[in-house]
Amino acid sequence: MTAPTDLPLPAPRPGGVSPSRARPTVRGLYARPSLTPADLGAPLLVLPDDYTGDIPALPGAVALARVETTIARWSAMGIRGVKLFAFGHDRDARGSAALAAGNLMLRAITAARRATPDMALTTEACGCSWTETGECILRAPDGRIDLDATHEYMGRIAVQHAEAGADVVSPTAMLDGSVHAVRTALDDHGLHDVGVNPNLAIHTSLYAPFKALMATDPAAGHRRGLQLEPGRSQRDTLVQARRWIAEGADSLTLQPVLTAADVLVRLRADQEVPLVAYSTSGEWPALTALGIEGTVEYLGMLKRAGADHILTFAAEQAAAYLGAHHG
């Protein structure tokens, strides 16, 4: 019997190579696509057919007459989600045009739904396109946020959008009780299968191109009281996410993600609900500079970091590239 020894055993000598460097047939056993067109959603910024203002170079900014063809093209490319935004009109202090029959948003939803039954349509229950101050919320005469009126307003918008064909509605103003108000309004109208997807919006300059085009820059110049502070975003996002889930949220959208990938990772570890990563309008110039291969790598990183769905202005370009190289 050999006596035990305290001498370290020699390290085993590798007799082959790592599977990641092995023959193509073996690598193929383990490879998984890092990104597919079905992972992507696209923002659609709908403008009136008679719009005469400047249009920044943002993909998805189209006149109402082009909504159907745009949605049909994206669907054919394998994109499975669209978030609709509409240029506001007839603005007033109470954002009443958002509730008017036949407003631009309702016509956009109808056109998008007519284009394809296979696309998941998401809208925002928000007043920023309809209030004269560009704010998401309604105010009381003394200037304070009118919580009850805003909750009712968001609920009515959500019901209108769902009845027009939206699959998911996003309460945008980050007010306690807003998700519950929207969920209750939908349920009260028998719209139990319509999802509620609130935003986890971190304060950033990366919303600027969207706000400039859609005229949603608030008169106050910022929305800091209704958005998460960047320096506290890792912690505050988790707190807010748990509140939204308790109020009845089915899924969550984190925005922006270019400067919050760490938050996305932490949020994924904390939550099991579907997460949407929104690569906002201010990220588009950076993605353009990266080029399409770099953009696809970036979007793939968001998927690995925990996103179940990626909303990006680069969706069409990325889907075309993926279709050409991995189809």
Cα–Cα nearest to 164, from 90, 102, 88: 102
Identify the CA nearest to 163 among candidates 198, 140, 189: 189
Tell me the CA end-to-end span of the chain in Å, nearest whole number.
62
Per-residue pLDDT of the chain (327 residues; tens, 9 = 90+): 555 566 677 766 666 677 666 778 877 877 777 899 999 999 999 999 988 777 767 899 999 999 999 999 999 999 999 999 999 888 888 989 999 999 999 999 999 999 999 999 999 998 888 888 878 889 889 989 899 999 999 999 999 999 999 999 999 888 999 999 999 999 999 999 999 999 999 998 888 888 888 777 765 555 666 788 888 899 999 999 999 999 999 999 999 999 999 999 999 999 999 999 999 999 999 999 999 999 999 999 999 999 999 999 999 999 999 999 875
pTM: 0.90
Residue 143's nearest CA partner among 129, 133, 152 is 133
